[in-house]
Homo-oligomer: A and B are copies of this chain.
Amino acid sequence: MTEVRHMKWWGWGNEGIAFEHRNKPEFAPFVQKAIGLDVSAPSVYVPEFDTLDVPESRIGDSFQSELADIVGEDHVHVDAMSRVVHTFGKSIRDLLRVRSGSLERTPDVVVYPGDEEQVQQLVAAAVAANAVVIPFGGGSNIAGSLEPAPDEERVVISLDLGRLNQVLDIDEDAGLARIQAGALGPDLERDLGKRGWTMGHFPDSFTHSTLGGWVATRSSGMQSDKYGDIADIVRGVRVARPDGMVTIRAIPSASTGPSVREMIVGSEGRLGVITEATVQVHRTPEVREIVGYFFPSWEAGLAAMREIAESDASPSVTRVSDAPESAFSFATRKESKGIEAAGTKALMRVLKARGWDLDQICLSFVGYEGSASHVRYEKKLVKRIVKRHGGFGVGKGPGRLYDQKKFDTPYLRDFLLDRGAAGDVSETAAPWSKLQHLYDHTISSARKAYDDIGVQGWIMCHLSHSYHSGACLYFTFAFMHGDEPLKQYDHVKSAIQQAFIDAGGTLSHHHAVGVEHSAWLPQDISPEGVALMQGLFDSADPQRNFNPDKIIPRS
């Protein structure tokens, strides 16, 4: 049997782990007010795999044994559970579909190659047989990058990279590590950490996503302000194609264009299967701190982040939540007692006396890494900017808590879904000059969409990454769904996506295009830009074997 663990077939993360609200006294009233959900109501959902109507595999004996010849019989899986687990990622659309048993099309087979040569042989065999290959990493994608097209009549192979999970080499002089594509975040960071290194890439999906997935979706992580987005971190890459390997050596920077490295990054399997990448790694910093700040308003918080980005400081994290998300954060705190609770109350009294509107408080986190003296220096620079915008520091406690809990958030979505509420996230990036309007327009578009479908909805936002010229805004939204949750969700999601584009943002800053965002591609990069991309796909994959229908829909 193949020893590759997967997330729950019906939700996020590991079996046995779930969101817990009973130790968070402010959570229930908050959710009641926000979307009208009584969280004390029991779950209306019970996962029952056996009730699913899973389509038969179309693999056929001869092709199955051809694949088995390459990877070994043990690593070719056609059972229903394997195929269901590899059908979707973990967007709310995915969860709604798998929970309702809407499995129009699953992969016909899941294969687990053991090395790069086997990947290359699988790719060649698939093209020879005119089968479809969908690479699979951690399965955390939320843009629909993993699902087979419902009307796909050819054999669909889910090529799971889970056995290619090793840190192959660390070049300690250059700060470069060769790592196999199937390595999960925690595993590769553990192996790097043992030798004193970190890659510094921590997307929200970190615990259940892989290096190959990050590269294939142009991912970004919590500390990307310092370490760079995955497009910056990946210097070399290897991609299995039918006739051999694309081999991009690790070069710090090159004038060879059009950059093939950048064609691979974000290609979502449409150009072949990424087998390994050579990534920048850094010495584990002497000090790593995340400091919390309060701002009197969203406008003030945004302005401060912009000024930090323009300043001589270069923090690892810049994050500020709008008032609704700050309120949400406060509501998901565990019960605080004694001195801590008294301290919070006293602080709020002081702020009120100073004229702050407590409902408008925005919680911010800024991260610092480096030598102790460098962290002191940068904190001083940031403190001055924060103060200029009416904010102040609230210490390391909130940041430490956020840092520990940040990967648990997706479990909340299942908790809500179990009780009839659909929630998901949408994010974009835009120039600083457009962010306030983009924010306002997105919020009002979502509210209008909620009105259209007659639901009580919630939307909140944080700035998650800063750049010289702009930032990423990350929206989380939820509502009590009715009988047609998918249709309702699509209406709200579409309104948000269109608002992004209309306000000058991109269709996604770090969640990829997949099928969920592809409708906005021509508006984002222009029809002529899409045509260039289409030409690349057509020439690289004339039979449409490599994860077809992703990024650009079939015309």
Q: Quick one: CB contact mask for A479-522 with B, threshold 8 Å, 1 for yes?
A: 00000000000000000000000001111111111000000010
Give the residues in chain B near A267, CB-CB below 8 Å.
Answer: 257-258
Identify which of residues 187-232 in chain A touch chain B, using a CB-to-CB cut-off of 8 Å. Answer: 216-220, 229, 231
| In the complex, residue of chain B having the shortest beta-carbon distance to the beta carbon of A535 | B539
A363 nearest CB across to chain B (Å): 23
Return A506 CB to nearest CB of chain B, in Å.
Answer: 4
Determine how close the nearest CB of chain B comes to the CB of A236; give it in whole angstroms: 9
List the B side residues contacting A297 at CB < 8 Å: none
Is A454 on the interface with B (CB-CB < 8 A)? no
A471 contact from B219, B252, B525, Cβ within 8 A: B252
Within 8 A of B (CB), among A504-555: 504-513, 521, 524-529, 531-536, 538-540, 551
Does A171 reach chain B (CB closer than 8 Å)? yes
Tell me, in angstroms, the Cα distance from A449 to B531 when the chains sit together: 46
**CB neighbours of A370 from chain B (8 A):** 312
The answer to whether B527 and A244 touch across the interface, beta carbons within 8 angstroms, is yes
Q: Does A422 contact B (CB under 8 A)?
A: no
Q: Does A374 contact B (CB under 8 A)?
A: yes
Segment with Cβ contacts to B, from A22-30, A321-329, A439-447, A461-469: A461-469
| Bound-complex Cα distance A65 to B535 (A) | 33
Q: Does A379 count as interface, using CB distance less than 8 angstroms?
A: no
Partner of A246 from B220, B280, B471, B529 at Cβ < 8 Å: B529
> Is there contact, CB below 8 Å, between B244 and A521?
no
Q: How far is the CB of A413 from chain B (nearest CB, A)?
A: 20
Q: With an 8 A cutoff between CB atoms, is A248 at the interface? A: yes
Say whether A282 faces chain B, with CB atoms less than 8 Å apart. yes
Is the CB–CB distance between B271 and A266 below 8 Å? no
A431/B264 in contact, CB under 8 A: no
CB-CB under 8 A for A470 and B174, given A246-B529, A528-B245, A528-B246: yes
Contacts of A507 in B (CB 8 A): 254, 256
Instruction: Please give me the 8 A-B residue pairs with the lowest Cβ-Cβ distance, nearest first.
Output: A257-B266, A535-B539, A262-B262, A174-B431, A252-B470, A252-B467, A173-B433, A218-B255
Give 29 pairs: A residue, B residue, CB < 8 Å, sorted on A: A173-B432, A174-B432, A174-B469, A176-B431, A216-B257, A243-B528, A244-B526, A244-B527, A246-B528, A251-B429, A251-B430, A252-B468, A253-B472, A253-B509, A254-B508, A254-B524, A255-B512, A256-B512, A258-B262, A258-B266, A260-B533, A263-B532, A280-B469, A312-B374, A532-B539, A532-B540, A535-B539, A535-B540, A536-B536
Q: Write the residues of chain A forming the contact surface with B, with a CB cutoff of 8 angstroms.
A: 171-176, 216-220, 229, 231, 235, 239, 241, 243-260, 262-268, 271, 280, 282-283, 306, 310, 312, 314, 370-371, 374, 377, 429-434, 465, 467-472, 504-513, 521, 524-529, 531-536, 538-540, 551
